[in-house]
Amino acid sequence: RMVSDYKPKNDVKDSYKILELEEGCSLDDVRNSYRNLAKKYHPDSSSGMADSKAFIRVEEAYRVVLSDLTGKQKPDPGEEEEDQFKSKSLQHRHYLSFEGVGIGTPSQREKQYMQFRVDRATEQVLEYRQQRFESLYAGSDLSRAKDVRQSKKVKITQAVERLVEDLIQESMAKGDFDNLSGKGKPLRKFSDSPHIDPMTHNLNRILIDNGYQPEWILLQKEIRETIERLRSSIVASRRKLGEPMTLPEQKQWGRICEQFAEDIRKLNKRVDNFNLVVPILSRQMVHFSMDKEILRARKTYEAVKEKVSDSDMKENEGEEDKRFGWKSFLFKWLKL
């Protein structure tokens, strides 16, 4: 509005002189001259000849010269024909840029076209994801069968849950829950500690009543049972061999020790897993040493061997007593 209502005060000839140009110059010359003079006289420039009044005169002259040049230029006949064609073209021609989407005014059609583009992009993204998943699972029939089995399990679980819920609702409707002991009373707390949530106490009580045990307790029990089984098995293997051992028996004992070392190594891995899940630091376990376990097995074997020899001696003495009768008793009395 300011530009349309603006009326310059300078004449055309004076304007050319201010811009340091001659009549008949090109539009590029006018623009270059105006740019140079603006850099020279603009108040915000760092030039030493900056002058706001001179800059205003240059700007007025530039507008006068531009209006003079545009008035002298003759319109191209091709452009006139194009303007005539645009003016005579039908109104729906202007809506072809929106791919024929929407109805109403141009602004309404533009909004509808933007929403159309969003919907189309969403559909393309969904199609891309679907094709990607199909390409991933196309070559693996096993994975498809696994997905089918998993979906069947989910359906069965949901069906069982619905059945249980229906049975509970049916029992409630019949009044089976009306005469329960403790009805209307608060739930009994699992512990007297005020720092623990009562709901946690009740959940723990339900789990314990149903035989639930934490993972670390089961691992600890399994480790202890395994080490006892390994110890008893190696002692039994040593008892089967002779004393002293022959060369073949020594080779067999070496193979037994190698297998025992492998079992101890696997057991130590279980110990590592146990130490990762145990919540109490003092309950952590140390690795089992193969050398110490072999030494322990030898000591156990020697102790068992001494017990067997003592029992054999007692049996022999008993047989002698039965064989000699009062004579053996008399000899013992004389020794005493």
Return the pLDDT at 250. 86
Domain boundaries, the chain: 12-70, 106-136+149-174, 215-315
CATH of domain 12-70: 1.10.287.110
Q: How far from 213 is each of 89, 209, 226, CA to CA, in Å?
A: 85, 10, 19
Return the pLDDT at 202. 78
pLDDT in tens, the chain (336 residues): 444 454 555 678 888 888 888 887 888 888 888 888 888 888 777 777 888 888 888 888 888 888 888 877 655 555 555 555 444 444 444 445 667 677 778 888 888 888 888 888 888 888 888 888 777 766 555 566 667 777 777 778 888 888 888 888 888 888 877 777 777 776 665 455 666 677 777 777 787 787 788 888 889 999 999 999 998 998 888 888 877 788 888 888 889 999 999 999 999 999 999 999 888 888 889 999 988 988 888 888 888 888 776 666 666 655 655 555 566 666 677 776
Q: What pTM does this model have?
A: 0.35
- Where does residue 211 fall: left (phi above 0), alpha (psi -120 to 50 degrees), or beta otherwise? left
* 3-class SS string, the chain: CHHHHCCCCCCHHHHHHHCCCCCCCCHHHHHHHHHHHHHHHCCCCCCCCCCHHHHHHHHHHHHHHHHHHHHHCCCCHHHHHHHHHHHHCCHHHHHHHHCCCCCCCHHHHHHHHHHHHHHHHHHHHHHHHHHHHHHHHCCCHHHHHHHHHHHHHHHHHHHHHHHHHHHHHHHHHHCCCCCCCCCCCCCCCCCCCCCCCHHHHHHHHHHHHCCCCCHHHHHHHHHHHHHHHHHHHHHHHHHHCCCCCCHHHHHHHHHHHHHHHHHHHHHHHHHHHHHHHCCCHHHCCCCCCHHHHHHHHHHHHHHHHHHHHHHHHHHHHHHHHHHHCHHHHHHHHHHC
Token look-up 């209502």 returns: 5
Q: Which amino acid is at 334?
A: L
Angstrom distance (rounded) from CA 33 to CA 198: 88
Q: Which amino acid is at 300?
A: T
Return the pLDDT at 224. 92
- Where does residue 182 fall: left (phi above 0), alpha (psi -120 to 50 degrees), or beta otherwise? left
Q: Is 221 exposed, middle or buried (0-12, 13-18, 19+ CB in 10 A)?
A: exposed
Return the pLDDT at 282. 86
Q: What angle do CA 152, 155, 157 make, to 5 degrees?
A: 110
